[in-house]
């Protein structure tokens, strides 16, 4: 494994998956029959992460033996110079200038993982990490590592701890000898070998090795029409193992019993230049009933998160992951799939294409086609040879693209849940390659790049006159840039090496995420900020509608000058905003900052705000189903803010004017203006802050006690849910006192048992069933609970709204029986069938209103590191709101 489970976010990432009802905390679905962990260079046995790490410096000869030639320099047991962050097994090392061997007897007959842990730091001042160069050989014939220098392997974002993982199968009755051999040096340069931890853990026989008796499961060599098998005499190195769309699943907690580490795909592997990719979490239990794959194949957390375009992205592009590998080897690429989108229920609903190393691997990938139904995990394996003229580090990419229009599929979208990449030992039984260089893949044209060739002819005509000005602007801009950025590169260089930059510094501008507009471009788009282009006026500036690149409508938010916000904060916030990508969030397209102007450019939302379709306008009222779809979309967007991004983000100003609608009626949450990066870690469960937000939507806990939590957004969203149901503003001063507040009136009605129907918008009254209304109202009550802890989470809200929508659809079905609609909803009703193992068909069967206990709860609390930017000042208020009033 190239990366380590102990990167610096280790302690700060707390991943809680609680499957309350359906999945009674199954921790390990596989229990290894051979499981040894050695704490090298230590005389103590220590218990860490629920397993015992045995010291190699005392008598554990019943478990393994440590062997070194007597004639040579004896090995040493040393501690790293800094013990900060050095947990087991990194708190000590076995170090030697000579060969040494760990020998294991009575190995199981099943294949085993060998994991080697290295902390590439200085030991005892005389052992510098740059002199640690060595080989590792198994049983005198399999080479795992050669000229290996661990200090060259760590990424910027982990702290020099490297774990390498291998899969091998030992002959029965054979010993397993792992030998460390330092490179030959000379008198002035002595090389040494070291290791901090060794694991030998058995795995199921056919997890990665091919079962020749199972004719159903075969896989192909890409580019050759030939079957490929992983047989006993092959050794594998796990080079990458990635939880796509999710957070890291660390070896010690959430794997299925084999202590595998699953990295997050986001920071290192996902090409983010156009990242509409989506994070999705779905509350239902996964299903292994169809016997597709065993449940230990990958942890549930891997299958519960995925990436896709987002359902209504319109542009064709490849969702791409890049992995640096050694040329000259064959790789087994395993892709994990599990359909988790509730809308996709049938074969051929979501068909897409897969390319591995730019070779077409699937021209009609179909997760449900393979697995039989939603929520059933499945994986597909491929073998690919990485050829090249010389031995070098090359890029192995995995790309997903929508199918051409000629192929019939309901959703032209892609899906991937997990990636594993294994290097296959070559004919000389070797796995060793080069030390990494973290190469930069060839840059393709970025869709977000300023169009260089598309300049309009008008510009061409005046180009002579303006070019001097532009040149001057560019120079000024460059200087401003240099001053501001520590790791400055010219925009062009940044473009070319954005892949590398991402690893180097978190403070670099996300040029691959977010476009930089010149002030000239902005002036051209808004006719020099002409008033007729204004579509909204907010406390912090005007919002203009403009067209970029001649045709693409955008919302341009011009922050008032003289604001308190410094340029650094502005850029920090842009960086954060531009990383938030979700189908139900208004996307930041770019920004402009010429020293005086601070301008943000957003996707333009054709239909304006949700409120305009509820009351106070001439718009045709929305149907109940449309309303449910809109609030469900908005709930998903908020859920993403709360859990899906790197930091959990509190929106702080959820209201019906901050939910915008695009031309397809897709709801997008806007205005993260008051957003603030959420609490960090367990010690801080809320953010103390000056009360901001909008009257009528404020969480009572927030304005009474200045306690801002994720649940403050849930409260405000509850108010929106009521507005949607009743089609009236949260506060109406014109009404008599006890009815001024919508929330108070609703809660009173409920308490006094007054018929709630009286409050419901007359336009939709007839189309809501009692059952749907009841479940909706219970959800709203829970959202509006005075005590934040008692409120449901945003993920529960999503689940409850999905349920309400189902009820509504099945209602429509019975109304329009026999029509086309029927076929559609019939499937809908069937849908809960796979929702639970016990045959009960609904997620919310209780009438207690306690949704929490009837849904699988998924909560992810991710925390931020200190060096991450915080949302700071008010200037971002209403930033994303193009129709701010
Ligand atoms: C160390 O191991 C290598 C490879 O097996 C071998 O060539 C060398 O002679 C060994 N050195 C000693 C001192 O045993
Ligand atoms: C492992 O090492 C032991 C002790 O040196 C030796 O007896 C045994 O033959 C070795 N086994 C293999 C498979 O190399
Ligand atoms: C020792 O090896 C290093 C690195 O290979 C080399 O730069 C140096 O000149 C060598 N010194 C001697 C005395 O051979
Ligand atoms: C996606 O990648 C494949 C393989 O490299 C390529 O053939 C295709 O043109 C790419 N599609 C787009 C839209 O870039």
Rounded Cα gap, residues 832 and 806, in angstroms: 9
- Of the pLDDT bands very low, low, confident and very high (cuts 50, 70, 90), residue 461 is very low
Q: Which of 163, 179, 202 is the last residue of a domain?
A: 202
- Assess whether 545 and 679 both reside in one domain: no
Structure-token match 């058995």, residue found: 202
Residue 554 counted as domain residue: yes
Report how far ligand 2's centroid is from the alpha carbon of 94 (Å): 20
Bridge partners, residue 546, by sequence: 554
Backbone φ/ψ region at 14: left (φ over 0), alpha (ψ -120 to 50), beta: beta
- How do residues 380-406 score in pLDDT, each as one tens digit? 999 999 987 778 889 999 999 989 888
Q: What local confidence, expressed as pLDDT, does residue 100 receive?
A: 95
Atom of ligand 4 nearest to the CA of 401: 1
Rounded Cα gap, residues 602 and 586, in angstroms: 7
- How do residues 265-317 score in pLDDT, each as one tens digit? 877 888 865 444 555 555 567 888 766 889 899 998 899 888 888 766 667 78
- How do residues 751-808 score in pLDDT, each as one tens digit? 887 778 888 999 998 889 888 898 899 899 999 998 888 999 998 899 889 888 888 8
CA dihedral 296→300→303→305, nearest 10 degrees, is: -150
Report how far ligand 1's centroid is from the alpha carbon of 180 (Å): 9
Q: What local confidence, expressed as pLDDT, does residue 325 receive?
A: 94
CATH of residue 821: 1.10.510.10
Q: What local confidence, expressed as pLDDT, does residue 567 receive?
A: 63
Torsion 491-493-498-503 (CA) sign: negative
Torsion 30-31-35-37 (CA) sign: positive
Catalytic residue, from 653, 671, 699, 713: name it.
653
Question: Tokens at residue 431, please?
Answer: 């796995």
- Assess whether 578 and 614 both reside in one domain: no
- How do residues 658-711 score in pLDDT, each as one tens digit? 899 998 899 999 876 544 433 333 333 444 444 556 777 877 776 666 677 889
Give the largest Cα separation in the chain, rounded.
Answer: 97
Number of domains in the chain: 4
Report how far ligand 1's centroid is from the alpha carbon of 178 (Å): 13
Instruction: For the sheet with 176-182, list strands across it.
Output: 65-67, 100-104, 176-182, 134-138, 142-148
- Asked whether residue 849 carries a pLDDT value surpassing 60, the answer given is no
Q: Is 98 in the pocket of ligand 2 (CB under 6 A)?
A: no
Q: What local confidence, expressed as pLDDT, does residue 253 receive?
A: 66
Q: Which helix (H) or strand (E) holds 718?
A: helix 710-726
- Of the pLDDT bands very low, low, confident and very high (cuts 50, 70, 90), residue 828 is very low
Report how far ligand 2's centroid is from the alpha carbon of 229 (Å): 29
Asked if 783 contacts 792 with a C-beta cutoff of 8 angstroms, the reply is: yes
Q: Is 67 in the pocket of ligand 2 (CB under 6 A)?
A: yes
- Assess whether 85 and 154 both reside in one domain: yes
Question: Tokens at residue 387, please?
Answer: 């050829």
- Assess whether 699 and 841 both reside in one domain: yes
- Assess whether 277 and 152 both reside in one domain: no
- Asked whether residue 585 carries a pLDDT value surpassing 70, the answer given is yes
- How do residues 442-459 score in pLDDT, each as one tens digit? 433 333 333 333 333 333
Q: Which helix (H) or strand (E) holds 705?
A: helix 700-705
Q: Is 476 in the pocket of ligand 2 (CB under 6 A)?
A: no
Residue 462 counted as domain residue: no
- Assess whether 555 and 689 both reside in one domain: no
Atom of ligand 4 nearest to the CA of 359: 4
Q: Is 317 in the pocket of ligand 4 (CB under 6 A)?
A: yes
Question: Tokens at residue 794, please?
Answer: 């945003």
Average per-residue pLDDT for the chain = 75
Q: Work out the number of other CB atoms within 10 angstroms of the CB of residue 724.
A: 26
- How do residues 427-439 score in pLDDT, each as one tens digit? 889 999 988 876 5
Q: What are phi and psi of 552, to 5 degrees?
A: -90, 115
Q: Which domain holds residue 63?
A: 35-202
Residue 281 counted as domain residue: yes
Report how far ligand 3's centroid is from the alpha carbon of 109 (Å): 46
- Assess whether 673 and 789 both reside in one domain: yes
- How do residues 34-66 score in pLDDT, each as one tens digit? 999 999 999 988 888 778 999 998 877 788 999
Asked if 109 contacts 172 with a C-beta cutoff of 8 angstroms, the reply is: yes
Q: What are phi and psi of 324, to 5 degrees?
A: -80, 125
* pTM reported for the whole predicted model: 0.55
Q: Which residue, by CA, sits nearest to atom 6 of ligand 4? A: 358
Atom of ligand 2 nearest to the CA of 177: 1
Q: What is the mean pLDDT of residues 112-118?
A: 97
Ligand 3 environment, Cβ below 6 A? 186-189
* Proportion of the chain above pLDDT 90, given as a percent: 31
CATH of residue 366: 2.60.120
- Assess whether 745 and 683 both reside in one domain: yes
- Assess whether 673 and 620 both reside in one domain: yes
Q: What local confidence, expressed as pLDDT, does residue 323 receive?
A: 94
Q: Which of 172, 187, 202 is the last residue of a domain?
A: 202
Mutation choice for ligand 2 from 67, 139, 177, 181, CB with most ligand atoms inside 8 A: 177
Bridge partners, residue 319, by sequence: 400
Q: What local confidence, expressed as pLDDT, does residue 156 receive?
A: 63
Show Cβ contacts of residue 227 under 8 Å, excluding neighbours closer than 6 positions: 218, 219, 220, 221
Instruction: For the sheet with 552-559, list strands across it.
Output: 515-516, 588-593, 598-603, 552-559, 541-548, 534-538
- How do residues 216-227 score in pLDDT, each as one tens digit? 777 888 877 788
Angle between helices 624-639 and 710-726 (to 10 degrees): 170
Q: What local confidence, expressed as pLDDT, does residue 268 receive?
A: 82
Q: What local confidence, expressed as pLDDT, does residue 816 receive?
A: 56
Q: Give which of 774, 803, 809, 783 is closest to 624, Cα–Cα.
A: 809
- How do residues 124-178 score in pLDDT, each as one tens digit? 878 889 899 999 999 999 999 999 999 988 776 667 889 999 999 998 888 999 9
> Residues 486-495: contacts with CB within 8 Å, 24+ apart?
491/516, 495/443, 495/446, 495/449
Annotated binding site for ATP: 557
Structure-token match 């999905």, residue found: 802
Rounded Cα gap, residues 720 and 723, in angstroms: 5
Q: In this structure, which ligand is nearest to the CA of 446?
A: 4
CA dihedral 253→256→262→264, nearest 10 degrees, is: -70
Rounded Cα gap, residues 265 and 244, in angstroms: 5
Weakest-pLDDT range from 189-198, 804-813, 838-847 = 838-847
Task: Determine whether 766 is an active site residue.
Answer: no
Annotated binding site: 557
Total H helices, total E strands in the chain: 16, 40
By CB atoms closer than 10 A (0-12, 13-18, 19+), residue 102 is buried
Angle between helices 794-815 and 770-783 (to 10 degrees): 170
Q: Which helix (H) or strand (E) holds 38?
A: strand 35-39
- Assess whether 749 and 621 both reside in one domain: yes
Angle between helices 567-579 and 463-484 (to 10 degrees): 90
Residue 435 counted as domain residue: no
| Secondary structure string (H, E, C) spanning 104-159 | ECCCCCCCEEEEEEEECCCECCCECHHHECEEEEECCCEEEEEEECHHHCCCCCCC
DSSP-derived letter for residue 307 is B
- How do residues 221-244 score in pLDDT, each as one tens digit? 887 778 889 998 999 999 999 998
DSSP-derived letter for residue 656 is G
Rounded Cα gap, residues 776 and 783, in angstroms: 11
Q: In this structure, which ligand is nearest to the CA of 175?
A: 2
Show Cβ contacts of residue 390 under 8 Å, excluding neighbours closer than 6 positions: 327
CATH of residue 561: 3.30.200.20
Torsion 755-759-760-766 (CA) sign: positive
Q: Exposure pattern of 196-232 as b/e (b: 16+ CB <10 Å)?
A: bbbbbbbbbebbbbbeeeeeeeebbebeeeeebebee
Rounded Cα gap, residues 529 and 532, in angstroms: 9
Q: Which of 142, 168, 202 is the last residue of a domain?
A: 202
Residue 106 counted as domain residue: yes
Residue 124 counted as domain residue: yes
- Asked whether residue 582 carries a pLDDT value surpassing 80, the answer given is yes
Residue 415 counted as domain residue: yes
SS3 of 37, please?
A: strand
- Assess whether 578 and 617 both reside in one domain: no
Show Cβ contacts of residue 56 under 8 Å, excluding neighbours closer than 6 positions: 38, 39, 40, 41, 42, 64, 66, 94, 102
Rounded Cα gap, residues 469 and 14, in angstroms: 52
Question: Tokens at residue 655, please?
Answer: 């209201």
Residue 450 counted as domain residue: no
- Assess whether 524 and 557 both reside in one domain: yes
């Amino acid at each position: 494994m190239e990366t380590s489970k102990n990167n610096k976010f280790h302690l700060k990432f707390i991943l809680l998956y609680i499957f309350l009802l359906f999945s009674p905390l199954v921790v390990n679905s596989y229990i290894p029959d051979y499981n040894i962990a050695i704490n090298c260079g230590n005389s103590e046995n220590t218990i860490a992460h629920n397993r015992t790490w045995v010291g190699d410096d005392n008598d554990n000869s019943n478990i393994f033996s440590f062997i070194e030639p007597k004639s040579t320099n004896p090995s040493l047991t040393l501690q790293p110079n800094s013990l900060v962050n050095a947990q087991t097994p990194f708190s000590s090392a076995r170090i030697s200038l000579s060969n040494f061997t760990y020998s294991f007897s009575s190995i199981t007959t099943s294949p085993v993982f060998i994991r080697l842990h290295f902390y590439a730091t200085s030991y005892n001042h005389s052992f510098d990490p740059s002199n640690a160069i060595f080989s590792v050989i198994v049983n005198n014939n399999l080479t795992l590592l050669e000229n290996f220098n661990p200090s060259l392997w760590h990424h910027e974002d982990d702290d020099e701890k490297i774990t390498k993982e291998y899969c091998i199968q030992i002959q029965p009755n054979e010993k397993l000898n792992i030998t460390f051999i330092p490179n030959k040096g000379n008198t002035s340069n002595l090389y040494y070998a070291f290791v901090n931890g060794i694991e030998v853990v058995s795995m199921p026989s056919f997890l990665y090795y091919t079962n020749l008796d199972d004719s159903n499961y075969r896989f192909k060599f890409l580019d050759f029409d030939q079957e490929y098998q992983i047989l006993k005499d092959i050794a594998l190195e796990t080079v990458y193992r990635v939880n796509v769309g999710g957070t890291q699943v660390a070896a010690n907690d959430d794997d299925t019993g084999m202590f595998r580490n699953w990295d997050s795909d986001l920071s290192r592997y996902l090409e983010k230049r156009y990242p509409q990719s989506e994070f999705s979490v779905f509350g239902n239990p996964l299903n292994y009933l169809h016997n597709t794959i065993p449940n230990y194949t990958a942890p549930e957390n891997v299958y519960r998160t995925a990436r896709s375009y987002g359902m209504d992205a319109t542009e064709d592009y490849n969702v791409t992951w890049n992995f640096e590998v050694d040329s000259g080897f064959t790789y087994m690429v395993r892709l994990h799939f599990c359909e988790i989108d509730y809308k996709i229920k049938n074969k051929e609903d979501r068909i897409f294409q897969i390319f591995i190393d730019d070779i077409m691997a699937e021209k009609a990938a179909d997760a449900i086609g393979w697995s039989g139904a939603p929520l059933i995990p499945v994986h597909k394996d491929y073998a690919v040879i990485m050829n090249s003229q010389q031995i070098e580090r090359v890029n192995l990419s995995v790309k997903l693209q929508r199918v051409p229009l000629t192929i019939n599929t309901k959703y032209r979208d892609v899906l991937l849940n997990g990636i594993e990449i294994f290097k296959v030992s070559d004919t000389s039984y070797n796995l060793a390659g080069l030390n990494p260089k973290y190469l930069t893949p060839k840059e393709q044209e970025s869709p977000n790049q300023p169009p260089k060739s598309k300049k309009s002819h008008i510009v061409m005509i005046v180009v002579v006159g303006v070019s001097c000005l532009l040149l001057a602007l560019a120079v000024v801009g460059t200087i401003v840039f240099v001053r501001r950025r520590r790791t400055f590169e010219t925009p062009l260089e940044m473009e070319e090496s954005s892949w590398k930059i991402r690893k180097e510094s978190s403070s670099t501008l996300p040029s691959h995420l977010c476009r930089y507009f010149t002030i000239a471009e902005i002036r051209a788009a808004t006719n020099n900020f002409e008033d007729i282009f204004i579509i909204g006026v907010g406390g912090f500036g005007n919002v203009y509608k403009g067209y970029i690149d001649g045709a693409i409508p955008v919302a341009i938010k011009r922050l008032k000058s003289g604001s308190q916000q410094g340029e650094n904060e502005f850029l920090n916030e842009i960086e954060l905003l531009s990383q938030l990508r979700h189908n139900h969030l208004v996307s930041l397209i770019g920004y402009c900052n010429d020293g005086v102007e601070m301008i943000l450019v957003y996707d333009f939302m054709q239909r304006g705000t949700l409120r305009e379709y509820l009351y106070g306008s001439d718009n045709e009222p929305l149907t109940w189903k449309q309303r449910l779809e809109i609030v469900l979309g908005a709930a998903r967007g908020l859920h993403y803010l709360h859990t899906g991004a790197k930091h959990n983000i509190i929106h702080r100003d959820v209201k019906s004017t901050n939910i915008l609608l695009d031309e397809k009626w897709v709801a997008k949450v806007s205005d993260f203006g008051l957003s603030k990066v959420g609490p960090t870690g367990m010690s801080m469960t809320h953010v103390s802050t000056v009360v901001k937000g909008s009257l009528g939507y404020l969480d009572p806990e927030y304005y009474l006690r200045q306690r801002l939590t994720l649940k403050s957004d849930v409260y405000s969203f509850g108010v929106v849910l009521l507005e949607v149901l009743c089609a009236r503003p949260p506060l109406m001063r014109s009404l008599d006192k006890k009815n001024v507040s919508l929330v108070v009136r609703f809660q009173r009605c409920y308490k006094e048992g007054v018929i709630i129907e009286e409050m419901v918008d007359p336009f939709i009254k007839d189309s809501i069933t009692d059952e749907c209304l009841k479940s909706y109202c219970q959800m709203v009550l829970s959202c509006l609970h005075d005590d934040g802890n008692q409120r449901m989470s945003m993920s529960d809200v999503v689940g409850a709204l999905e349920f309400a929508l189902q009820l509504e659809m099945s209602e429509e079905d019975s109304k329009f029986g026999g029509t086309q609609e029927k076929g559609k909803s019939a499937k809908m009703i069937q849908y809960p069938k796979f929702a639970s193992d016990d045959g009960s068909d609904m997620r919310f069967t209780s009438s207690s209103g306690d949704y929490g206990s009837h849904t699988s709860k998924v909560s992810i609390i991710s925390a931020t590191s200190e060096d991450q930017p915080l949302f700071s000042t008010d200037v971002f208020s209403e930033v994303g709101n193009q129709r701010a009033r």
